[in-house]
A and B are shown apart, each in its own frame.
Chain A
């Protein structure tokens, strides 16, 4: 035991030395990241990838312990952090637009977004709407026209449940195009984006709504074509070929941001330290590579800026959800 304490003390001292001059003297003793889902999903990926990279570039001295706390679409983890881990300074929790969506729709019973502190984002995954490579549909307006004329003729597949982010994205686009009653849009929920794309290839459905990272592999292989990216402007690099919805006259933007929140009772030093660590991670070339490899687009928000961003996105989702009748 004594040895362990000594080691921790040494590690802390070492970190403090390397971070000399940095505002925060805090270094997590037992860095822990809760992924509010089973291993294998996006939140799990966020925790593991960030933990690994932070260790690789020396931001943390110990391996980030990843805890999978699945349940309630992140609600179990949220309640756990609020109720039981509220003063932990070593803990961060992976979050994304899905977290904001559920908070907005009141799907975490009794919890609201201000019960935790929002740390920072690590990138965004822009929404895409895609069709099979051999489909006659070439542009987003063509697809939306079909939906407008006969909503029953088009089935759109996505990886989230009804009311989830994949569903909302397509409704945002339909709404922006002037589809009167967006509730008539036929959305089919699958277990994850991969299964949804597979059903697009199988011909069971006519269109796919999901994240760019989910679609990337199938675009590369030429199996599907992206008819719209829901980004403010064309993305960089290999993704530049995809037209945005905006340039096709459909003013719809849908980004699935990825980031972290922390317990509300975390000390200010710890909060600042985590914010600056995630900031440094974001700025590192290693992270840029990971973003490029996984189709993550830039979204660099930290601390207070990120809090405002999440709060805006919760409000926006609340508005859409109310409009389409998911919440009252």
Chain B
């Protein structure tokens, strides 16, 4: 048991009073940062880097502090998603879909604690995955070339029907809108600026955080302004917090979901080109296709809360695999952690596990500690969080507006981003009036760019031959799942019968 003894050494390093104190601090700050709209894990970590340096912390304590913030923010993102319907950061977006309806139905406490448990399960399993599978998973990640990534993203979009419980056409429209917005910026494959109108702020494309905060938070404020004396106030009076902890029956009911989505999220996290947002997205839509027989997803199904939370926290753990073993960050936050490692004179990469075992195992032990601490911290705090719902909207909404503006300006320091955010807010308000779901827009913006780049990389490499997209068994498999997942619910197998009878039996069970 070589691994266990290394892990034991890691715990010896991590379990000092100073490190435990840093973990508590990091978890707490991370949770808050995750919950505030605008501040996500990557900004949270970046903000605390100077603190780590100022305190003169060594490599392991710094990493403990910063990974606690990372995991804390992944936990915290769900709080505002559930309570306000405003995602605290990108990966928490899917939690809005069922978490907010649950809160509206007076089950906010349950939703919060359930998502806390789901986060724990996801992160816990992912940390074990990191320990046992890191070397093998690197080989798996290497199976993914541009063509395979494109197929993976296509799969994500094919299952988009799972995202919205309302009109499918509106959902598709929203996704297209998002894809369109993703085109803005300098095209990396040609170096040509697209739809930037000579505005240098748009050269890097639209910032997802700005889009999310605008679409969700500001449009909420606009809706409130519109109904100033009417429904909004009345609504809040009806809201009850309900019980604070989920029943055992509910936990049991959600356990298979949590386990499945943890695995799925972890795998998505391991792929450097995918990341946590894709992890929670795929977790949710696959889970919906798999278990949502009665169409309760999107209306406050507890499994719809557990799925994305387990998925995105597992993806956060998974994203550490390519960062540590390849030196390739799988998400924005791991890019920041990578920079911290470099600043501490530790070179992540294939040799990290051999050259700096104390850092790696100390970090892994810290992940376990942070995770358990977050669970312990979050469950009792549910009662506190739910108080947010008691705040009357006339006080809450100005606070939301203020936090949005301060948060976005604090990150980018650019007033242009504030204008973009307001534009998104107005757009979000109009779309809400038209009953167009907002989540697919963000998904389109978030994933569209990477998807397009991978398509064009694949086609360029093959000198314009589109057959390259279905050239490997892996991409054929992904496409099959995507097509089956897309067509089966619509035509119940009529069209696919001849073409893929053999595959459907194998895949049908996972995509129906």
Chain A interface (Cβ < 8 Å from any Cβ of B): 38-41, 44-45, 48-49, 52, 55, 63, 65-73, 75-76, 79-80, 107-109, 152, 155, 161-164, 186, 188-192, 194-195, 197-199, 201-205, 216-218, 220-221, 223, 289-290, 293-294, 326
Contacts and interface: CB of A to CB of B under 8 A. Distances in A.
Given A52-B53, A188-B457, A198-B272, A217 B349 contact: yes
Interface stretch (B94-102, B235-243, B333-341): B333-341
Most buried by A among B53, B200, B412, B413: B200
Contacts of B201: 71-72, 76
Nearest to B56: A56
A216 B347 contact: yes
A79 B416 CA distance: 13
23 contacts: A40-B329, A40-B336, A45-B343, A48-B49, A52-B53, A63-B53, A71-B412, A73-B204, A76-B201, A162-B190, A189-B188, A191-B188, A191-B453, A194-B272, A194-B328, A198-B328, A202-B144, A204-B145, A204-B146, A204-B457, A217-B351, A220-B351, A223-B350
Nearest to A108: B200
A14 to B, nearest CB: 18
A294 B457 contact: no
Given A109-B200, A194-B327, A45 B342 contact: yes
B461 A217 contact: no
Interface in B142-192: 142-146, 186-191
A198 B141 contact: yes
A70 B191 contact: no
Given A161-B186, A220-B349, A195 B203 contact: no
A127 B145 CA distance: 24
Contacts of B261: none
A155 B204 CA distance: 25
B329 A162 contact: no
B323 to A, nearest CB: 9
Interface residues of B, number: 56
A38 B188 CA distance: 17
A199 B204 contact: no
A190 B457 contact: yes
Contact of A73 (B143, B203, B342, B414): B203
A71 B412 CA distance: 9
A45 B273 CA distance: 22
A38 B203 contact: no
B498 interface: no
Contact of B339 (A39, A67, A70): A39
Contacts of B50: 63, 65-66
Interface of B: 42-43, 45-46, 49-50, 53-54, 141-146, 186-191, 198, 200-204, 272-273, 322, 326-329, 332, 335-336, 338-339, 342-343, 345, 347-351, 411-414, 450, 453, 457, 460-461, 463
Nearest to A34: B413
Contacts of A45: 339, 342-343
B145 A199 contact: yes
B351 A48 contact: no
Contacts of B145: 199, 202-204
Contacts of B335: 38-41
B200 A155 contact: no
B267 to A, nearest CB: 16
Given A39-B336, A198-B142, A204 B461 contact: yes
B378 to A, nearest CB: 26
A204 B411 CA distance: 36
B463 A152 contact: yes
A220 B349 CA distance: 9
A69 B412 CA distance: 6
A41 B272 contact: no
A289 B343 CA distance: 12
Contacts of B45: 39
Contacts of A220: 349-351
B189 A162 contact: yes
Nearest to A202: B142
Nearest to B350: A221
B460 A155 contact: yes
Given A48-B339, A65-B50, A71-B412, 10 more contacts: A72-B204, A161-B188, A162-B189, A163-B191, A189-B189, A191-B273, A198-B142, A198-B326, A217-B350, A220-B351
B188 A199 contact: no
A38 B336 CA distance: 9
A217 B347 contact: yes
Contacts of A75: 200, 203
